[in-house]
Every structure is written in structure tokens, then in C-alpha cells.
Amino acid sequence: MEGDERPIILGAELLMLLALFANSLALKSWVYRNTTSLLYRQVAWLSVGSLLLCIGGDLVNFNLPETYYRHGSVVKHDYLADSVWFFAPGYLLLLIASVRVALANGMSGLPIAGLLSVAGIIGGVSINAMHLPGTGDYVAAITGFYGVFITMVGASGLALVLSFKTARFKPGVLLVGGGIVLATVADSVIGQFWIYGNGGEGYFPAARYINWSLYIGSQCLVIHLARIALWNGPASASAPAPVVAAAPTSRTIPIS
């Protein structure tokens, strides 16, 4: 992504992120209008905070200064490691939100911990297979940590879906849970093809475009977490029903 099209593409992506964030705020407001449940309101805020932090990571990944090999001589796009300082806390908020909803839906902590642990092991094996000899300690450490962590985030999406019991096959539940899993897939593209791919040169910009498509698709789905939890969770029956104005009538009711 070079030349005259670079500012156009980055500008379009930034507008996309701003529209996504505005939609996230609108969904948070919808949750506040439709329930007084502290759980769902907190989940809505966690979703907003998650997206905001991830947007910070996106700005780092834009590589506005167009500098490469910042942390060593092996990985060209090693600035991607710096974005973990935003993406890790952002996705941590999403993981917390998913686990809180799963626990509120009646899923016990043991199977959730089991899913996250197995996912972490898979992530560790995967990132170890990608690693290139000579990668600097900073890039190796931060991508190693993140490879384990983001796989656990994806597993939280599976736990979320399973926790909805009879509602687990509803399209909204599957889409949001799948969106969380998709975040892991998007970041695996970064590791495999953008950071460590092609001997550290990366398959750029093809890998970037694939990652961006998967990432935006994921974010478009996961911002609906609080809403689908409210619609399908066990506490949904306690949510106040929308106020409907009574239809006008022409009858005169006698007052005794």
C-alpha cells in the first residue's frame, strides 16, 4: 500500500472505524433504554471500551511514519508488535464481557477455564511454529504472549455460545460468538502472513487486506454482544418492557 492510494485507503478505513464506534455507542444507549440490569450495562461499556482500545491499535498498524525494522533486522513489519499494547487490553475487555455473560447464563467457571486453557496451549504451539530465528527479544516476547492470549479470546466466544443453552443456535448468538472467534482468525493472519510470513518480509499488502476484512467483520459483530445477551439471557425476562401509549378512544367512561 504505497503511493497516491495510501492516504485514500487509510482515510476510508478511519471513517469506517469512526462509524463503527458511533454504532457501538448507539448500541450502548439502546441497552440503557431497555434494561436497568447492571450486568448488561457493564457489558455494553466493556464493548465500547474494547473497540476504542482496538482503534488505537489500528492507528499503530497504519504505520503512518512508514518505518520498518524498528526492533531488529529480521521482521520488516515489527511495528505490528507495538499495537499489542492496545489490542491486548482491548480484547481483554471483550474476554471479560464474554465470560461475565457466560457465567450469568449459568455456565460454571470450570469448563470456561478448561476451554481457555486448551486454547492457550494451541495458541502457544501455533506462535512457536511461526517464530523465525533471530527475531528480537521484544518482538518474540510480545507476539508470543499475544498469540496465546488472542486464542483464549476466541475460546471465550465458544464459551459464550455454549452458555446460551437452548438459544445457542439462534442466528444472533452464533454471529456474535463467531465474531469473537473471527478476531482470533484475523490476528492469526497477521502472525502467519504479515509478521513472520515470507521470511520476515511479510506477504504485504495482500495479508493486510485479508486481515482488515476479517477484523472489521469481527468488530461489526461483537459490538452487539450486550444486545444479544439481553435478548437471550436468563435475566431478559426482568428487563422492562417498552412503554406503549394507549390507543385513544371515543367512549366516555362514567365516573361514579
DSSP states of 147-212: HHHHHHHHHHHHHHHHHTGGGTTSHHHHHHHHHHHHHHHHHHHIIIIIISGGGGT--TTHHHHHHH
- In-domain check, residue 58: yes
For residue 203, what pLDDT is reported? 96
CATH number at residue 14: 1.20.1070
Query: pTM for the complete prediction?
Result: 0.89
Task: Look at residue 35 and tell me whether its pLDDT is greater than 90.
Answer: yes
Q: For the residues 106-112, what does the mean pLDDT come to?
A: 96
Residues with Cβ within 8 Å of 133's Cβ and at least 6 positions away in sequence, in order, are 74
Q: For the residues 182-201, what does the mean pLDDT come to?
A: 97
Q: How many domains does the chain have?
A: 1
Please state, in angstroms and rounded to a whole number, the distance separating the CA atoms of residues 199 and 183: 24
Please state, in angstroms and rounded to a whole number, the distance separating the CA atoms of residues 144 and 150: 10
- In-domain check, residue 11: yes
Segments forming the whole domain that contains residue 228: 5-237
Task: Look at residue 192 and tell me whether its pLDDT is greater than 90.
Answer: yes
Q: For the residues 10-26, what does the mean pLDDT come to?
A: 97
For residue 4, what pLDDT is reported? 73
